Amino acid sequence: MQSAIPCSLMRGGTSKGLFFMADNLPEETALRDSILLAAMGSPDERQIDGVGGAHPLTSKIAIVKPSTLPNADVDYLFLQVSVDQALVSDTQNCGNMLAGVGPFAIEQGIIKATEDETFVRIHMVNTGGIAIAKVQTPEGKVDYSGDARIDGVPNNSAPIFLEFLNIAGSSCGQLLPTGNTIDSIDGVEVTCIDNGMPVVLIRAEDLGKTGYETPQELENDEQLKQRIESIRLQLGEMMNLGDVSKKTVPKMSLIAAARNGGAICTRTFIPHRVHEAIGVLGAASVATACILPGTIAQSIVNTNSQDVVQLIDVEHPTGAFSVEIELDNNVALPDIKRVALLRTARLLMRGEVLVPDDINQKLN
Ligand code: NQM
């Protein structure tokens, strides 16, 4: 026998996963995680016995409930289900899955849609902080169809604008977690930054790469992966993240000069597989490094704009990600006020996911 748990399968930005209402899952973490592992089919590199897509970008969970905070409509908890290990982690946020939260909350009836567009204020439980999503709701219903296009997704959809306020230091406590714009680890210069996602920037050429390799080419290079992991483990402690050996942060972004008119080119380890694009908050952190004086990114982008609102195009393996950043330049280290960007999302399936009863028996 199997147990059925209501949920929806959604694409959020360039990621995909299951969206649950919190009260359809047990509160107890170990039990909840066993259910999620079974639902996705982990641990197994093909996730053949579950609905996971055999890649970290398609092995994601969003848990949503009405918010108890006065300044938010819903609470969104993100969980990364490891593909090949029995691990479920809440140590990172996910801005791509976030794009599906507004539509899901409206579909579930916990947010009442307003005519044409509905603003949903989302409390991001993993890191704290509020995101505001603008969802298209003509005639009070979520509209997924439209002309908006994001790189990494082949089809156009309705736009979902996301805005983040004051997300600097969301996981590490400060925008520059080590207190420096540049650190040197294992003889390699890095910039550590957290504007919504802890990211370590490394010049690709310092690791013997061009920065224009395909994700597959980078993943095939065992020596490179070991060097990056050694740097990551040391920086985890220095970035106030503690022992990161079982965590999915910080992300490791190899950077090089832009090739297609953008500000910078990236290849991002998340942290062991290489992203086919770049994460939302990952892109926000990289874009921020591009405009902060003294970072290794700034020497590559070579911009010197003093504009209060800047649009930074972060190139990645499947195109580019435009991040709008609003800052206050009147202080020594520019103060990042707001980050805004475009995503799309689509409801792919709704119903119940089935998990074997031996897991669910522990529920009763
Ligand atoms: O950085 C992948 C994704 C992400 C995270 C990852 C994300 C973000 O693309 O906000 O969206 O870096 O693990 O889903």
Q: What does the pLDDT profile of the chain (364 residues) look like in tens digits? A: 999 999 999 999 999 999 999 999 999 999 999 999 999 999 999 999 999 999 999 999 999 999 999 999 999 999 999 999 999 999 999 999 999 999 999 999 999 999 899 999 999 999 999 999 999 999 999 999 999 999 999 999 999 999 999 899 999 999 999 999 999 999 999 999 999 999 999 999 999 999 999 999 999 999 999 999 999 999 999 999 999 999 999 999 999 999 999 999 999 999 999 999 999 999 999 999 999 999 999 889 966 677 899 999 999 999 999 999 998 877 777 789 999 999 999 999 999 999 998 875 554 4
Compute the distance from residue 244 Cα to the ligand 1 centre, in Å: 17
Report the half-sphere exposure of 334 (CA within 13 A, side-chain side): 24
Q: Does the beta carbon of 215 lie inside 6 Å of ligand 1?
A: no
Closest atom, ligand 1, to C-alpha of 277: 9
Pocket test for ligand 1, best of 59, 61, 126, 270 (most atoms within 8 A of CB): 270
CB 9 within 8 A of CB 16: yes
Q: What residue owns the CA closest to ligand 1's atom 4?
A: 279
Is there a shared CATH topology between the 3-159+345-363 domain and the 183-336 domain? yes
Q: Does the beta carbon of 251 lie inside 6 Å of ligand 1?
A: yes
CB 13 within 8 A of CB 107: no
Q: What confidence score (pLDDT) does residue 331 get?
A: 75
3-class DSSP string for 208-223:
CCCCCCCHHHHHCCHH
Domain definitions of the chain by residue range: 3-159+345-363, 183-336
Q: What confidence score (pLDDT) does residue 329 get?
A: 79
Q: Quote the CA–CA distance of 189 and 16 in Å, as a whole number.
A: 34
Write the CB contacts of 11 (distance below 8 Å, at least 6 apart in sequence).
Answer: 100, 153, 345, 346, 348
Q: What confidence score (pLDDT) does residue 362 get?
A: 54
The model's pTM: 0.95
Q: What confidence score (pLDDT) does residue 128 get?
A: 94
Structural tokens at position 174? 């400060």
Amino acid present at 260 = N
Neighbour count for residue 305 (Cβ, 10 Å): 13
Q: Does the beta carbon of 96 lie inside 6 Å of ligand 1?
A: yes
Cis upstream peptide for 43 (omega within 30°)? yes
Compute the distance from residue 216 Cα to the ligand 1 centre, in Å: 18
Compute the distance from residue 95 Cα to the ligand 1 centre, in Å: 6
Compute the distance from residue 353 Cα to the ligand 1 centre, in Å: 24
Compute the distance from residue 197 Cα to the ligand 1 centre, in Å: 9
Dihedral pair phi/psi, residue 100, rounded to 5°: -85, -10
Structural tokens at position 172? 């590490």
Q: What confidence score (pLDDT) does residue 307 get?
A: 86
Say whether 198 sits in a helix, a strand or coil: strand
Q: Does the beta carbon of 158 lie inside 6 Å of ligand 1?
A: no
Q: What confidence score (pLDDT) does residue 302 get?
A: 64
CB 81 within 8 A of CB 34: no
Compute the distance from residue 114 Cα to the ligand 1 centre, in Å: 29
Neighbour count for residue 52 (Cβ, 10 Å): 27
Amino acid present at 284 = A
Amino acid present at 195 = N
Nearest to 124 by CA among 244, 279, 10, 281: 281
- For the 183-336 domain, the top CATH level (class) is alpha beta
Q: What residue owns the CA closest to ligand 1's atom 13?
A: 270
CATH architecture for segment(s) 3-159+345-363: Roll (3.10)
Q: Which helix (H) or strand (E) holds 34?
A: helix 29-40
Write the CB contacts of 297 (distance below 8 Å, at least 6 apart in sequence).
Answer: 191, 201, 255, 264, 286, 289, 290
Compute the distance from residue 364 Cα to the ligand 1 centre, in Å: 35
Q: What confidence score (pLDDT) does residue 303 get?
A: 67
